A and B are shown apart, each in its own frame.
Chain A
Amino acid sequence: MVENIEKHQYDVVVIGAGGAGLRAAIEARLAGKKTAIISKSLFGKAHTVMAEGGAAAAMGNVNSNDNWMVHFRDTMRGGKFLNNFRMAELHAKEAPDRIWELETYGALFDRTKDGKISQRNFGGHEYPRLAHVGDRTGLELIRTLQQKIVSLQQEDKKEFGDYEARIRVFAETTITELLLDDSDGTARVAGAFGYYRETGGFVLFEAPAIVLATGGVGKSYKVTSNSWEYTGDGHALALRTGATLINMEFLQFHPTGMVWPPSVKGILVTESVRGDGGILKNSDGKRFMFDYVPDVFRKQYAETPEEADRWYTDPDNNRRPPELLPRDEVARAINSEVKAGRGTKAGGVYLDIASRLPAASILKKLPSMYHQFKELADVDITKEPMEVGPTCHYVMGGVEVDPDTQATRVAGLYAAGEVSGGMHGSNRLGGNSLSDLLVFGKRAGEFAAAYEGELTKRPAVKTADLEAAVETALAPLQRAGGENPYTLHHELQQVMGDLVGIIRRQGELQESLGRLAELRERVSKVGATGGRKYNPGWHLALDLRNMLLVSECTAKAALEREESRGGHTREDFPKMDPKWRQVNLVCSASPAGEVDLVHQPVPTMRPELLDLFEKSELAKYMTEEELA
């Protein structure tokens, strides 16, 4: 061994310090396990802070007709029935408890008149359902969980004299490899290897149970709302240890990201702008969403602007405005308008709230949005419309997990939050991600702790694996004259944005696979100048192989799925096909890094859940044999 590697032993290691990771860690620590949280950034900076709208939970505080069955129905409809029904069911049932629990950690949500947690309307949700704090709900969530962890550390300090006796945060630490023990014939998680960003020093976490909570993959796209951390690390780590990914073709493009000016390009304009009265107009000034209501939604959405406008004050007797259609529909509509030449110069459309609400109520309802655009771009949203367009926002696909335990196919490996797949089907409803990461973060922590408790023998890391991991991590630094990682990253974003973007075609997808194969060749020769101490060039060089592997999965699955559904739109197959609803596309990786793709049936919904839907609605999604 060339250098001394710092070693730590934990019962449960959580990779990722966003909402799902922190919730999982809290649960593991509450189960009495010695827990480590590994964060690529500083503690409390996770991408969760970007979530604005709220956390969906059928508490029924605003409309008492709401309950888990309605929420379940909305989630399945939003996901076009491709969701793992069991995950959608657990999510709808458990979300309220997870939200209420946050209040005992110190969260301060906005309130209703009778002092309960206020809930707001959001696209795809039948009733006002999103617990929120102005438009900074994600920040509230992360801060609350962060502070809960601190409070657990304070308890441990009292009991053991050490804050870090049972739960420790390793900030600015990146995991590059998971290590396995297969000595008893089953591959089991044995540890995680990575480096401290600050020093470049290597670190090994020996742990029998690991929870992946690394978030998404957006940094493979050019226009994205995602931060630099979203490089698909968890997806790639899972693939390389033998776990599988599902639904990778489904990427959510948020319909309303800013397209102009450049300082705010990609930044999201929360859906609540539309929930509170904002409307979409093309460059001719026409409110165009009425032309894009698909048949499956015709019954729930208003047909005239007059009816739509009445809905904001009288939702019981009017149908919803079409601006509140699920995200994929709105994204597609904007895309069509722009393609038809009715977009703005920057390639977007107008989102107008200025002419719809008085300035004071815009300020009250959307304070951080107002302040963000005023400061970042000198745009006053109370005076002028915003220029918006589709932005890569969320990946529905992810690590294939057991719906109840969040266990992957590798023993000891769990996944929760955006990195896991199945819950959202082909399209995620706004607000369902914050509740998803609480519900399944908790479950992942709980079952990872239980798995650790049942083990009789601690798996051991093999020295050879460790040496290989060190070598891979150091390779870019030792490659003099290697290719510039920033250039390669830029080209990858270009390929994914142009060829595997929001509207997809067979020829382009085939071309993308060729281009990605070339990039793979070049990424294997990437170089980094400078030393190991806080060197972003080196960090990016190591992240690239993850982004590339995951991008290949997305491109392959997108080529395979010959239909349009949710976050996957094929120009050559514009219709939803009930036959494809029965199919999940599952990706795995060979030891050489080749992506392999197989078809797998979607689990069949239990009859009592099926009964929650009208036959006529099911007919839109299911084949005749299924309905019979």
Chain B
Amino acid sequence: MTVRQFKVWRGDSAGGQLVNYDVDVNEGEVVLDVIHRLQATQEPDLACRWNCKAGKCGSCSMEIDGMPRLACMTRMSTFEENASVTITPLRTFPVIRDLVTDVTFNYVKARETPAFAPPKDVAPGDYRMQQVDVDRSQEFRKCIECFLCQNTCHVVRDHEENKTAFSGPRFFIRAAELDMHPLDARSDRKEYAQKEQGLGYCNITKCCTEVCPEHIKITDNAIIPMKERVVDRRYDPLVRLGRKILRRDQLEQEAVAVTTLHQAHPTPQPDGAAPINWHRELAPPMGADVDDKGHLPLNELLSDRVGANSPFGDDVEFPVDPTKLNYYHPEQKH
């Protein structure tokens, strides 16, 4: 057992300050254990939310040494032996008291996000979905609503004025989850996210993904797909029919069968339009300008450009070299 120094923010909406405490810490403990000891031995009225103490409920969100984290998931052994640990409440939400903040914002946004729309013609018990098709939505349903992503998102962090128009990463993944739900009857999830949830404010700095204790790939798997223009195959009536009568693996087999017909020759198009070469070698996907940890710069000061990073990758220059495109120009001589 060692004695460690903690600086804990005490106060309420009227103001407060960091207070120093010396607390006993045992081997194998997490920050929440230490806060409990503080309550039991020194400050019985120290306010702190917590429930499961197992990283499953998402209640004990706070900022530990400035990093948004769950106190129950932050091992004491991750700090330097002699360093003091600073604990402050989430900054994006109004403080109620000590480490407890008013997270109503999130519940308001949850209520504004249209709920799951059950398919009209399917009775309970008759829902049939393939595991591959539910995998994507299931990733987002891992969310424990700790709101660390909401707290860290710089669109609303220190920008109270953006809160009305912006729902935040938690609700982008909710929209994405429903968009990717195989049986959701609504088809306007993307437009909704873009028009009503303020998805356009997001400039993909990936801070939300970085703080997610469930390791949900919020940016890559939800936000970027939702930012795509609304040209999804669910709008193609033929594909939609296919989705209804075929399983995904059958669909994919079929897709392969169609393309092998063309071999590597350009496919002639009717009415003298340019033939299309479906088998032209595609340019490899180009990566974004990331640091050695694989992240985009967290704020504008560290970035080498003004404004948002490009969703196509920052090293893509427009216009793109036409010979690299999957497109056969009518004047191109073969």
Question: Which residues on A are within 8 Å of B, measured CB to CB?
Answer: 41-47, 49-50, 96-97, 100-101, 103-106, 108, 110-111, 114-118, 133-134, 136, 139-140, 143, 147-148, 150-151, 153-154, 163, 171, 198, 225, 227-229, 260-264, 267, 368, 371-372, 375-378, 484-487, 490, 528-531, 533-538
B51 touches A41 (CB 8 A): yes
A479 to chain B, nearest CB (A): 13
Whether, in the assembled complex, B107 has its beta carbon less than 8 Å from a beta carbon of chain A, the answer is yes
Whether, in the assembled complex, B56 has its beta carbon less than 8 Å from a beta carbon of chain A, the answer is yes
A-binding segment of B96-104, B198-206, B223-231, B260-268: B96-104
Q: A108-B141, A110-B131 are in contact. Are A227 and B124 (CB under 8 A)?
A: no
A57 to chain B, nearest CB (A): 11
Which A residues touch B58, using CB under 8 A? 45
Known: A100-B127, A108-B181. 6 other contacts (CB 8 A): A106-B116, A150-B115, A227-B51, A229-B51, A263-B75, A490-B40
B118 touches A104 (CB 8 A): yes
How far apart are the CA atoms of A41 and B48 in the complex, in Å?
12
Pick from B46, B55, B103, B129: contact of A115, CB under 8 Å: B129
Q: A115-B130, A151-B116 are in contact. Are A536 and B46 (CB under 8 A)?
A: yes
Which B residues touch A372, using CB under 8 A? 54-56
Which B residues touch A104, using CB under 8 A? 118, 124, 127
Pick from B44, B53, B137: contact of A536, CB under 8 Å: B44
Which A residues touch B30, using CB under 8 A? 263, 376
Our count of residue pairs bridging A and B at CB distance below 8 angstroms stands at: 180
A529 touches B141 (CB 8 A): no
A348 to chain B, nearest CB (A): 14
B141 touches A143 (CB 8 A): yes
In the complex, 9 of the A-B residue pairs with CB atoms within 8 angstroms, ordered by the A residue number, are: A41-B59, A45-B145, A50-B52, A110-B134, A227-B50, A371-B215, A375-B213, A486-B44, A536-B45
Q: A103-B124, A376-B54, A534-B98 are in contact. Are A108 and B115 (CB under 8 A)?
A: no
B96 touches A534 (CB 8 A): yes
B73 touches A151 (CB 8 A): no
How far apart are the CA atoms of A419 and B26 in the complex, in Å?
35
B32 to chain A, nearest CB (A): 9
Q: A42-B103, A133-B138, A533-B97 are in contact. Are A538 and B45 (CB under 8 A)?
A: yes
Which A residues touch B293, using CB under 8 A? none
B75 touches A378 (CB 8 A): yes
A478 to chain B, nearest CB (A): 15
Which B residues touch A154, using CB under 8 A? 111, 114-115
How far apart are the CA atoms of A43 and B178 in the complex, in Å?
21
Whether, in the assembled complex, B247 has its beta carbon less than 8 Å from a beta carbon of chain A, the answer is yes
B138 touches A108 (CB 8 A): yes
B222 to chain A, nearest CB (A): 15
A40 to chain B, nearest CB (A): 9
How far apart are the CA atoms of A45 and B58 in the complex, in Å?
7
Instruction: Look across to chain B and name the residue whose beta carbon is closest to the beta carbon of A59.
Output: B125
Pick from A110, A140, A537: contact of B39, CB under 8 Å: A537
Q: Which residues of chain B (256-283) have a CB below 8 Å from chain A?
A: none
Question: Which residues on B are within 8 Å of A, measured CB to CB?
Answer: 12, 26-30, 33, 39-41, 44-59, 72-73, 75, 77, 96-98, 100, 102-103, 107, 110-111, 114-116, 118, 124-125, 127-131, 134, 137-138, 141-145, 178, 181, 184, 213-215, 247
Which A residues touch B114, using CB under 8 A? 154
B54 touches A264 (CB 8 A): yes
How far apart are the CA atoms of A163 and B112 in the complex, in Å?
10
A361 to chain B, nearest CB (A): 15
A486 touches B52 (CB 8 A): no
Which A residues touch B184, using CB under 8 A? 106
How far apart are the CA atoms of A147 and B113 in the complex, in Å?
10
Q: A106-B116, A154-B115, A534-B98 are in contact. Are A49 and B56 (CB under 8 A)?
A: yes
B141 touches A537 (CB 8 A): no
A263 touches B55 (CB 8 A): no
Which A residues touch B33, using CB under 8 A? 262-263
Pick from B26, B125, B138: contact of A100, CB under 8 Å: B125
Pick from A42, A105, A111, A487: contact of B131, CB under 8 Å: A111
A529 touches B55 (CB 8 A): no
**Nearest 10 interchain pairs by C-beta:** A530-B45, A106-B116, A537-B44, A151-B115, A115-B128, A261-B28, A486-B40, A100-B124, A100-B125, A534-B47
Pick from A101, A147, A375, A537: contact of B115, CB under 8 Å: A147
Choose among A139, A171, A531 the residue with the greatest number of B CB atoms under 10 Å from its CB. Answer: A139
Pick from A108, A110, A198, A371: contact of B137, CB under 8 Å: A108
B47 touches A106 (CB 8 A): no
Which B residues touch A117, using CB under 8 A? 127
Which B residues touch A368, using CB under 8 A? 56, 142
A530 touches B44 (CB 8 A): yes
How far apart are the CA atoms of A530 and B213 in the complex, in Å?
33
Pick from B12, B39, B51, B178: contact of A45, CB under 8 Å: B51
Which B residues touch A487, using CB under 8 A? 40
Q: A264-B54, A267-B54 are in contact. Are A531 and B45 (CB under 8 A)?
A: yes
How far apart are the CA atoms of A538 and B46 in the complex, in Å?
11
How far apart are the CA atoms of A106 and B140 in the complex, in Å?
13
Which B residues touch A105, using CB under 8 A? 116, 118
Which A residues touch B75, using CB under 8 A? 263, 375-378
B97 to chain A, nearest CB (A): 4
A488 to chain B, nearest CB (A): 11
Q: A115-B128, A227-B51, A227-B57 are in contact. Are A484 and B107 (CB under 8 A)?
A: no
A536 touches B47 (CB 8 A): yes
Instruction: Look across to chain A and name the residue whose beta carbon is closest to the beta carbon of B44.
Output: A537
Pick from B98, B116, B124, B142: contact of A147, CB under 8 Å: B116
Q: A101-B124, A154-B111, A262-B26 are in contact. Are A535 and B47 (CB under 8 A)?
A: yes
Instruction: Look across to chain B and name the residue whose beta carbon is closest to the beta carbon of A134.
Output: B138
A253 to chain B, nearest CB (A): 17
B111 to chain A, nearest CB (A): 6
Q: A227-B53, A263-B30 are in contact. Are A115 and B115 (CB under 8 A)?
A: no
How far apart are the CA atoms of A534 and B12 in the complex, in Å?
10
Instruction: Look across to chain B and name the residue whose beta carbon is closest to the beta carbon of A264.
Output: B54
Pick from A46, A143, A536: contact of B48, CB under 8 Å: A536
Which B residues touch A140, using CB under 8 A? 141
How far apart are the CA atoms of A538 and B47 in the complex, in Å?
11
Which B residues touch A50, using CB under 8 A? 52, 54, 56-57
Which B residues touch A136, using CB under 8 A? 56, 142
